[in-house]
Structure 1
Amino acid sequence: MGSMQDPAASGARREAFRALHTEGCFVLPNPWDVGTAKYLAAQGFRALATTSAGAAWSRGLADGAMDLHAVLAHVAEIVGATSLPVNADFGHGYGADDEGVGRAVARCLETGVAALSVEDATGDPARPLFPLAEAVARMKAARAACDAAPGRGILVGRAECFLTGHPDPLAESLKRIAAYAEAGAEVLYVPGLTTPDQIAAVVRSAAPRPVNLLLSRPIGLTLDEIAALGVRRVSLGGALAGVAWGAVARAVAELKAGRFDALGGRLPGGELNRLFGG
């Protein structure tokens, strides 16, 4: 794992990140390596989030295939790349039980992340979601670890009902985020929302806690329209990494056909050298 961050600096990042959630709506983009983290910071974004998918793909792995050691090293790398607060995508908490989740979350917070998300998807198709009581116990363990960190780490509670094929995903998500809020989640997150009515229902149920909206593809809404629904932050998950891979795939398809036109869409090396050399 990367080096531990200075506790005072970590606390300051957590305070700054918590303040971002008090009003308005901000975009929380997801870099997958040091270069993309530095690039996004240079574009004026006020915080960053890791992406389990983007990180895994950059290592030639499927999403979810990185172990705890690899995830912690990656999170530390992104935290160390800039001075911005970072929200870690921390899967289901990397613990077989609630005590294991608490220990893993404490280790993640040592990297200096401002926040981390814990989800209720098990990764097991036979039982896609943790039973609610078990998911709540895991969230409470994560909350205790966050409370012990300098500046109190920010806990994001994720209900994965839409992404795991639940038969009534909205109703189940609303029930679960209410329980996660009571367990100490400060930000609530339901990946897979695609309509204004779904988004508004989650915002109402979560209030007064802020809501994160995942946009992995266009859903026909602008940032202003999303903000008007009451969303506090918008993250992109692995979407930016997917855009990058899409550009590579298109360029390679042209190369295989004996053409080089796609190379005209590259970002000039001089521009990147100036950015990273400054």
Structure 2
Amino acid sequence: MNSDSRERAERFVQLHQQGCFLLPNAWDVGSARILEAAGFPAVATTSAGVAFSLGRPDHDFFAEQPEGRIDRETMLRRIREIADEITVPLSADLEDGYGESPETVATTISMALATGAAGGNIEDFTGDRKAPLYDPALAADRIRAARAAVDAGGEPFVLVGRTDVLLVGGTLDECIRRADAYLAAGADCAFVPGAADAETIGTLVRELDGPLNVVMGLTGGTLSLDDLRELGVRRVTVGGSIARAMYHHLLSAARELADRGTFSYADDQIPQSDLNDLFQRST
């Protein structure tokens, strides 16, 4: 990690010490540059957005067609591309670490550090419908191995332990047990997708022994950033929701062109000169 990357990573660590901040998710250099220009203090990647940009499905129940998943090298190459082109910290969506074993997860973390990422999350979702979550003990060992890899690297890095309990129909009690186990194993922050209402989020904030990340935009939701700050949330991400909104507009334009042969979709486009100005490198 060079000095610029280290300085960004140190800033990212500091963001997690107090308060609440919004960490929007990008999928390529252009989307990351736009988010950076909007003034966000850091940017994250979205595995869904990266996969969609390559015409592939996101990490999901893939046991029937595992070959459809984006491989680790492809994802890390995209993360490096983004990290090299922005001046704010970048947190990497590392899915399940691209393998079951703690050793594989540790290697993934070491590779992410080498890309210049300032942080990354490891989730307990397996993609197997019969056993959608890793065994709790193994899941904690995977976080422990990730922590050891961070410490061995000797660089600032925010390790996030993600549990998908709520997304696969599990209980809030199980969610709390797993998230606390990941924090105890060395995660700096717990990430609980699927927690979207004030009661659930408030319970998590009270019960967890560390900072909480929630994701908004999965179902719209009515809570604002101010609401989440008041509840005690430390970090808010938006997952693949911006990418999905972009693809909604693309699909709408495609349908208009194919079905009606009209061009009203272009009424909402950004002028090319504005995008040229936004993407112009400062000298």
The two structures have a TM-score, normalised by structure 1, of 0.94
What is the CA–CA distance in structure 1 between the aligned matches of 2:138 and 2:29, rounded to whole Å? Answer: 35
Contact preservation (8 Å) 1:101, 1:142 = yes
Name which of structure 1's ranges 183-192 and 103-112 shifts more when overlaid on structure 2.
Answer: 103-112
What's the secondary structure of 1:252's corresponding residue? helix
Displacement, 1:206? 2.1
Name the structure 2 match of 1:128. Answer: 132
Matched, 1:89 2:73: no
Displacement, 1:66? 0.6
Name the structure 2 match of 1:184. Answer: 186
Matched, 1:112 2:116: yes
Q: Across the two proteins, how many residue pairs are aligned to each other?
A: 270
Amino acid at match of 1:118: I
Name the structure 2 match of 1:162. Answer: 166
What's the secondary structure of 1:87's corresponding residue? strand
What's the secondary structure of 2:25's corresponding residue? coil
Name the structure 2 match of 1:257. Answer: 260
Name the structure 2 match of 1:275. Answer: 278
What is the CA–CA distance in structure 1 between the aligned matches of 2:107 and 2:70, rounded to whole Å? Answer: 18
Matched, 1:173 2:175: yes
Name which of structure 1's ranges 252-261 and 27-36 shifts more when overlaid on structure 2.
Answer: 252-261
Displacement, 1:268? 1.1
Displacement, 1:226? 1.0
Amino acid at match of 2:16: H
Name which of structure 1's ranges 50-59 and 96-105 shifts more when overlaid on structure 2.
Answer: 96-105
What is the CA–CA distance in structure 2 between the aligned matches of 1:96 and 1:229, rounded to whole Å? Answer: 34
Name the structure 2 match of 1:197. Answer: 199
What is the CA–CA distance in structure 1 between the aligned matches of 2:98 and 2:55, rounded to whole Å? Answer: 21
Identity of aligned residues (%): 40
- How is 1:1-278 mapped onto 2 (pairs within 5 angstroms)? 5-6=1-2, 8-64=3-59, 65-166=69-170, 168=171, 170-207=172-209, 209-216=210-217, 217-255=219-257, 256-278=259-281
Structure 1 stretches of at least 4 aligned residues deviating more than 6 Å after TM superposition:
none
- Root-mean-square deviation (Å): 1.2
Amino acid at match of 1:275: L
What is the CA–CA distance in structure 1 between the aligned matches of 2:31 and 2:205, rounded to whole Å? Answer: 30
Displacement, 1:246? 0.7
What's the secondary structure of 1:218's corresponding residue? coil
Displacement, 1:259? 2.0
What's the secondary structure of 1:212's corresponding residue? strand
Displacement, 1:190? 0.4
Amino acid at match of 1:14: A
Contact preservation (8 Å) 1:13, 1:84 = yes
Query: Please, which runs of 5 or more residues in structure 2 have no aligned partner?
Result: 60-68
Query: Please, which runs of 5 or more residues in structure 1 have no aligned partner?
Result: none
The two structures have a TM-score, normalised by structure 2, of 0.92
What is the CA–CA distance in structure 2 between the aligned matches of 1:141 and 1:266, rounded to whole Å? Answer: 46
Cα pair distance change 1:150/1:267, threshold 3 Å = farther
What is the CA–CA distance in structure 2 between the aligned matches of 1:178 and 1:210, rounded to whole Å? Answer: 10
Amino acid at match of 2:273: G
